[in-house]
Amino acid sequence: MVKNGTRGERDLVKLLWEKGFAAMRAPASGGATKKPLPDIIAGNGEIYLAIEVKTTSRERIYIDSDKIGALVRFSEIFGARPYIGIKFRYRDWIFLSPGDLELTPSSNYRLDLGIALERGRDLDEVTGNDRQTRLR
């Protein structure tokens, strides 16, 4: 059985390739190692992305603060832009920077659909393809 998160990661990797990025799922993400690895690493020679992937059928999701910390640490070492890529049901991918998330009293992060829509970026913005569109 394929978990929803794995399917989401694979779908996003495919979309990144279609946008001209080499992209791969990090094989040891998700706690299989003590190293701070994101779910997806992607780059096109100019822009490098480290993405923690979340999918949900609800309008709110909680993210462990350790996952966000690991994403930021990896991104600093690798020279990538850190993003949380979230796929709400029936919506396109939305990307947020760690600073866009709200910290809860329990020191985890909460992300509501409304905040994601307000603060989030789409795939073209994250990959720089929106610049090409604006230049035309």
Candidates 86, 79, 73; CA nearest to 35 is 73
**Residue 39 is labelled as binding a ligand:** yes
pLDDT of 36: 81
How many structural domains are present in the chain?
1
Mean pLDDT value across the chain? 87
Any known ligand binding at 52? yes
Task: pLDDT band for 50, please (50, 70, 90 cuts).
Answer: very high
Give the lowest-confidence range in 2-6, 36-40, 106-110: 2-6
| Residues noted as catalytic | 29
Domain holding 42: CATH number?
3.40.1350.10
The tally of CA atoms less than 13 A away on the side-chain side of residue 16 is: 25
- Give the pLDDT band (50/70/90) at residue 6: confident
| pLDDT value at residue 136 | 29
pLDDT of the residue at 96:
96
CA gap 116, 95 in Å, rounded: 8
pLDDT at residue 47 greater than cutoff 70? yes
Query: Which residues span the domain enclosing 39?
Result: 4-135
